[in-house]
A and B are shown apart, each in its own frame.
Chain A
Amino acid sequence: MSNDYLTPVLTGRTLLRANPVSKLFAAVVITLALLASIDWVSAATALACELALMPLLGISVAGLARRIWPLLVAAGVGAYGTALLAEKTGAVLLDVGPFLFTEGSVAAGVAVGLRGLALALPGIFILLTTDPTDLADALAQKLHLPPRFVLGGLAALRLVGLLVEQWEMLGLARHARGVGSDGSVVARTRNLLGQSFGLIVQAIRRATRLATAMEARGFGGGPRTWARESTFSALDAVVAVVGLLVAAGAVTAAVLAGTWDFLLS
């Protein structure tokens, strides 16, 4: 099934074996370092490190680009917008009518674009190399999050895939009843709202039934055990250290280059 979020196509055998918690830790550390300052050196360093780790994902740059192209576009738009609107300092690079780019504004734009990508990539690493069931096991057993919350989230993930299917089915069913996606903009908007409401109704009914099925199997009360043990290995120490190194490297490079601009200072 194509709309299956519970059994996604995963890549990167090494990272797949790592515990999701260590991957989360590495991603959080890198994110914190990048959030502390807005400058292009720290962002570029982190991004370069992340790209250097790409072989671990086991997919080509082109393959990755195909999956995350909306992010690339967003980063580009963010960079352009910032360069256009940021404070105009330094030498003028381009001045055509309302379009004025200076060294300062372009540097700010590049920093924002790179930072967006550098922030997004750790998340992509986790998404591509983590099985949702393993993640749930790790969150519950290692981080001791409440089982209700973790397993509820896992079950919901499955319903998300079904929602896509139900949306298509609802569209067909409505077309058969005489409400289609044709007509004026007003009619289309009304149809879209109606279909969305129908989807919500279906989703709630579906979730209620699933909750009943889960409750019928003893879910929801009392202590519970875990069939799959979530474990840490030496690999997890490596993942955590690499995360720390990338974060430290980005900060150090920026401080040495004199571009470090601590947000809270």
Chain B
Amino acid sequence: MTAADMPSPGAVRVRARGWGWRHAGRRAFAARHLDLDVRPGERVLLLGASGAGKSTVLHGLAGLLGSHDEGEQEGELLLDGAHPAAARGRAGLVLQDPETQVVLARVGDEVAFAAENLAVPRDEIWQRVGRALDDVGLDLPLDHPTTALSGGQKQRLALASVLAMEPGLLLLDEPTANLDPDGVLEVRDAVVRVLERTGATLVVVEHRVAVWADVVDRVIVLDAGGGVLADGPPGTVLVQEDTRARLAAAGVWVPGRQPAVGGTMPGGPGSSGPDASGAAGEVLLSAQGLGVARTRRGPVAVQDLALQVRAGEALGITGPNGAGKSTVALTLGGLLRPRAGTLTASPGLAGEAGGDPFRWRSAQLVQRIGSVFQEPEHQFLTASVADELAFGPRQAGVADPARIGAVAERLRLTHLLQANPFTLSGGEKRRLSVATMLATAPRVLVLDEPTFGQDAGTWAELVTLLRELVADGVAVLSVTHDADYIAALGGSTLHISGGAGRLVSR
């Protein structure tokens, strides 16, 4: 018997009638025409294409959309018959990025924070803190610093701090999108444990359906044009072929369905790859006894790396959160000074710039190695997509409008050339951050978690593009947790853990 059959007394009933929300300053409604009834204790997976308004619905349920200066509401959205903003503490929301949710310095205080805000008496607060930490399986001292936690632990802490409100409705906004595979399971299992004890209603938004398909008893798909596209048990919605096709077309990760990828598997049969282009695996970068560190005096992240980066090959860099993968990528990208050993660029890559990538000037670097950061916004420098694409070539003194046009075309940015980069959707931002790096035609491309939080559509586009680049003789290095991505690009894998790297060749 599931919790839905026997609702717990505290579980919240959700009701929406023609509900919609338009953010102030935006012309289009973020969500619209929503009619919905969720029974107390029901567990709902909310799906939809990017821009279908999933997050907006969650924010609405959490009572975060309210005042008139924030936007315009139509219809009604009710928790147990009350406006969400008036039902403070009834709904608890966990957001996607574990880093941006931590408020306080110590684990115990962090969990107590929400209970304090609801004016819970002091003795009861600490009982709730203990119970919430137990529920999510965080066995840590209350004065443990919140900065010294892994991504999965931080998300479980965020969950615990929401649980301290004893919410009847648990809202999760892509809670595992930024986590490594272990972290994903950690958080998913904690949620299941919590629901079993509390019987709360659950609404979870996530691109990767497989993670939650066995946990939920209902799947609701939002239509990008407003309203509901499909609604039913996962065994029906996720199995019916026409819904599956529509979900896939909307960019949702449907279990058992790999997004269609173009290009050819690098190095695979029928690949025209590096052999045809004549640059058969020319070594571009080679590392010897390389030790990497984030700061000049800080701790060493990874030691004694030896590897060669070859033209026309992909290299995946994997390992748990916090193992030092990004530090390795930044060092290989010529951005961080090697702590020990050497990183040498071959004459074919370096040209007149010398063999040490760290010593290259910015304008030299941008023509040789392109680094795509995890957070696209960190790299946006101008006010329009067109300027953004023209920027790198201008810095390098090799402005070539034809190439810029071709890159924009290839990454489907042509219709966005006048848009401000910061206003793009997540998938568009990712495409632009890759495009800006391709504009100067570097022979080495380093990407940090390029598929984090991307829907299946953007994922397939990105993989297709990178396959084509590899076939053109570009070396593509990617820090990633994404096994499908690595499989699609081929090449070797550098697995990093415990301060050491292990190269696995194909």
Q: Which residues of A are interface residues toward B (Cβ below 8 A)?
A: 1-2, 4, 6-7, 131-133, 151, 154-155, 158, 169-170, 172-180, 182, 194, 198, 201-202, 205-206, 209-210, 212-229
Judge whether A172 and B62 touch: CB under 8 Å. no
Judge whether B395 and A179 touch: CB under 8 Å. yes
12 A-B residue contacts at CB 8 Å?
Answer: A1-B148, A158-B104, A174-B362, A176-B437, A177-B392, A178-B363, A205-B377, A213-B95, A217-B114, A217-B161, A218-B89, A227-B108
Cβ-based interface call for B19 (8 A):
no
Cβ-based interface call for B109 (8 A):
yes
Cβ-based interface call for B162 (8 A):
yes
Bitwise interface map of B from 92 to 129 toward A, beta carbon under 8 Å scored 1, else 0: 11010100111111101100111111111110011001
Judge whether B379 and A212 touch: CB under 8 Å. no
Q: How far is the CB of B46 from chain A (nearest CB, A)?
A: 17
Judge whether B381 and A194 touch: CB under 8 Å. yes
Given contacts A175-B335, A176-B371, A228-B109, contact A182 B64 (CB under 8 A): no
Question: What 5 A-B pairs have minimum CB-CB distances, sorted nearest first?
Answer: A180-B362, A178-B395, A178-B366, A217-B114, A218-B117
Given contacts A178-B366, A182-B362, A224-B119, contact A158 B105 (CB under 8 A): yes
Given contacts A178-B363, A210-B100, contact A218 B165 (CB under 8 A): yes
Additional A-B contacts beyond A172-B330, A213-B103, A218-B89 (8; CB < 8 A): A133-B104, A173-B378, A176-B333, A178-B395, A179-B395, A180-B365, A219-B113, A227-B109
Judge whether B365 and A173 touch: CB under 8 Å. no
Judge whether B391 and A178 touch: CB under 8 Å. yes
Contact partners of B396 in chain A: CB under 8 A: 178
Q: Which residues of B are interface residues toward A (Cβ below 8 A)?
A: 59, 62, 64, 88-89, 92-93, 95, 97, 100-106, 108-109, 112-122, 125-126, 129, 145, 147-148, 158, 161-162, 165, 295, 298, 330, 333, 335-336, 361-363, 365-366, 369-371, 373, 377-379, 381, 391-392, 395-396, 422, 436-437, 440
Query: Which of A173, A220, A223 has most B Cβ within 10 Å?
Result: A173
Judge whether A4 and B95 touch: CB under 8 Å. no
Cα-based distance from A225 to B113 in the complex (angstroms): 9
Cα-based distance from A178 to B370 in the complex (angstroms): 10
Contact partners of A182 in chain B: CB under 8 A: 361-362
Q: How far is the CB of B91 from chain A (nearest CB, A)?
A: 8
Given contacts A154-B104, A182-B361, A225-B122, contact A209 B379 (CB under 8 A): no
Cα-based distance from A2 to B296 in the complex (angstroms): 13
Contact partners of A173 in chain B: CB under 8 A: 371, 373, 378-379
Q: How far is the CB of B386 from chain A (nearest CB, A)?
A: 15
Query: Which of A2, A7, A222, A225 has most B Cβ within 10 Å?
Result: A225
Judge whether A216 and B371 touch: CB under 8 Å. no
Judge whether A180 and B361 touch: CB under 8 Å. yes
Contact partners of A2 in chain B: CB under 8 A: 295, 298
Given contacts A213-B103, A225-B122, contact A176 B335 (CB under 8 A): yes
Judge whether A223 and B114 touch: CB under 8 Å. no
Judge whether B92 and A216 touch: CB under 8 Å. yes
Judge whether A225 and B121 touch: CB under 8 Å. yes
Q: How far is the CB of A128 from chain B (nearest CB, A)?
A: 17
Among residues of B, the one whose C-beta sits closest to the C-beta of A2 is: B298
Contact partners of B93 in chain A: CB under 8 A: 216
Among residues of B, the one whose C-beta sits closest to the C-beta of A180 is: B362
Judge whether B391 and A155 touch: CB under 8 Å. no
Cα-based distance from A226 to B102 in the complex (angstroms): 18
Contact partners of A170 in chain B: CB under 8 A: 378
Given contacts A174-B381, A177-B392, contact A6 B440 (CB under 8 A): no
Q: How far is the CB of A216 from chain B (nearest CB, A)?
A: 4
Judge whether A176 and B162 touch: CB under 8 Å. no
Partner of B391, one of A177, A214, A217: A177
Q: How far is the CB of A202 from chain B (nearest CB, A)?
A: 7
Judge whether B117 and A227 touch: CB under 8 Å. no
Partner of A133, one of B88, B101, B106, B377: B106
Given contacts A175-B362, A178-B366, contact A227 B95 (CB under 8 A): no
Query: Which of A154, A214, A218, A219 has most B Cβ within 10 Å?
Result: A218
Given contacts A7-B145, A202-B378, A224-B119, contact A176 B365 (CB under 8 A): yes
Judge whether B105 and A177 touch: CB under 8 Å. no
Judge whether A217 and B113 touch: CB under 8 Å. yes
Contact partners of A223 in chain B: CB under 8 A: 119
Cα-based distance from A214 to B113 in the complex (angstroms): 9
Cα-based distance from A212 to B436 in the complex (angstroms): 31
Cα-based distance from A218 to B92 in the complex (angstroms): 9
Cα-based distance from A257 to B112 in the complex (angstroms): 55
Judge whether A132 and B105 touch: CB under 8 Å. yes
Partner of A177, one of B129, B145, B377, B436: B436
Partner of B116, one of A177, A213, A215, A226: A226
Q: How far is the CB of A164 from chain B (nearest CB, A)?
A: 11
Q: How far is the CB of A14 from chain B (nearest CB, A)?
A: 19
